[in-house]
A = this chain, B = another copy of it.
Amino acid sequence: MEVARAAGVSKTTASDALRRSGRVSEKTRQLVAETADRLGYTPNLSARSLRAATTGAIGLHLPEVLTRSEYYMSFVFGVIDQASRHDYDVTLLTSRGARARAAFHRLDGVVLGDPLVTDPVVHGLLASSVPVVTCERFTGDAEPAGTVRSDHAAMLSLLFDRLHDAGAARPALLASSTITDWGAILQRAYREWCERRGTAVRLRELPYGAPPEVTQDEIRALLSAEPGIDALVCAPDGSAAAALPVLREEGREVGRDVLLAACVDSGPLAHTDPPITAIDLRPREAGAACAELLFDLLAGRADEGAVRDLPIGLVERGSTAPRG
């Protein structure tokens, strides 16, 4: 605190004054505060971190494939929101591995949005000493310190029930890759639903982060392989919007000839024609819940291996209107 010592007090006094530790008199506190302000002083966080063995920052890692996803953007802001509430910074970790390893001592903890089994950084982080909270379970063998999850199976089952009630007898699933737990759960839930209902499984899987063209080709393939399909549920983010023109080009009127629903809601789905029914994954809340759990773990308010539940919702729109 050599700068603020120019206020005529010792380093310690200045330090204590600025951190309001209640050690110094109100008068000196004022004086120091003013001086610091005048000199444009800002504390050196590196030094503080070094001393305190705590960094005031948490990491956030996302699957890099998903450059364009409203879901993750909302998730990010959820994490940030909660972090800043605890006066923490959020550092984004990339899949360029070398760095992540080195970042360990710069972070007090890490949040993993949808950990891919195929991502080496994910493994690295889980193997490290910092506490890790994952959104959705990690299907690999490492155990995160905390997990936030939702009941996707129940929600998907509910969605198919609704489609069935609306008159769909041969619903299909455009599935997402099983490299995420979410993708795997959806496939399983769909198969189980089909079994319960005694319906044939009509499923097609897309790789994670597939571009729209690939998605559309897959949908065309699905439709030509299974012409009897009367409802289509699309798992990958953005795939339902991409399905709309394909269905139309096949001469099927969405909401009448064929019902359509998405497993990931997003802004545009509310404004297509017709608007598309979707599962609302509450991404912002999910991000916030992950961060919250991480802070609880750091503070000892939660136990290693804690699992928390995040409720999700179903937004029914015109694309699944009951048949007149």
Total interface residues in chain A, CB < 8 Å? 61
Q: Which of B73, B83, B212, B270 contacts A267 (CB 8 A)?
A: B212
Does A103 lie within 8 Å of B45, measured CB to CB? yes
Cβ-defined partner of A77 (8 Å) among B67, B93, B97, B271: B67
B68 touching A89 by the CB < 8 A rule? no
- Check A102/B45 contact, CB under 8 A, given A84-B94, A212-B270: yes
User: CB within 8 Å of B: which of A205-251?
Assistant: 212, 238, 241-242, 244-245, 248
Copies of this chain, whole number:
2
Within 8 A of B (CB), among A35-77: 40, 42-47, 49-50, 55, 57, 64, 67-70, 72-74, 76-77
A256 / chain B contacts, CB cutoff of 8 Å: none
| Closest Cβ–Cβ distance, residue A239 to chain B (whole Å) | 10
Which of B74, B241, B245 sits near A68, CB closer than 8 Å? B74
**A97-119 Cβ-contact flags toward B at 8 Å (1 or 0):** 11101111110000000000000
Nearest B residue to A93 by beta-carbon distance?
B89
How far apart are the CA atoms of A93 and B76 in the complex, in Å?
12
CA distance A284 to B102 in the complex (A): 24
Tell me the complex Cα distance, A110–B274, Å. 43
Q: Does A291 make an interface contact (CB < 8 A)?
A: no
The answer, yes or no, to whether A165 is at the interface (CB within 8 Å) is: no
Q: Contacts of A273 on B, CB cut-off 8 Å?
A: 244-245, 248, 273
**What are 7 A-B pairs at a CB distance below 8 A?**
A42-B103, A46-B55, A80-B94, A89-B91, A245-B272, A248-B273, A273-B273
Residues of B near A42 (CB, < 8 A) are 101-105, 128
Which chain B residues border A106 with CB–CB below 8 Å?
45-46, 57, 89
Tell me if A85 is interfacial: C-beta within 8 Å of chain B. yes
Instruction: Identify the closest chain B residue to A249 (Cβ).
Output: B273
Please give me the residue from chain B that is nearest to A213 by CB atom.
B270
Q: Are B72 and A96 in contact (CB under 8 A)?
A: no
Contact status of A241 and B271, CB under 8 A, knowing A46-B105, A74-B68, A81-B96: yes
Identify which of B43, B64, B244, B268 contacts A104 (C-beta below 8 A): B43
Q: Which residues from B are CB-within-8-Å of A271?
A: 212, 241-242, 244-245
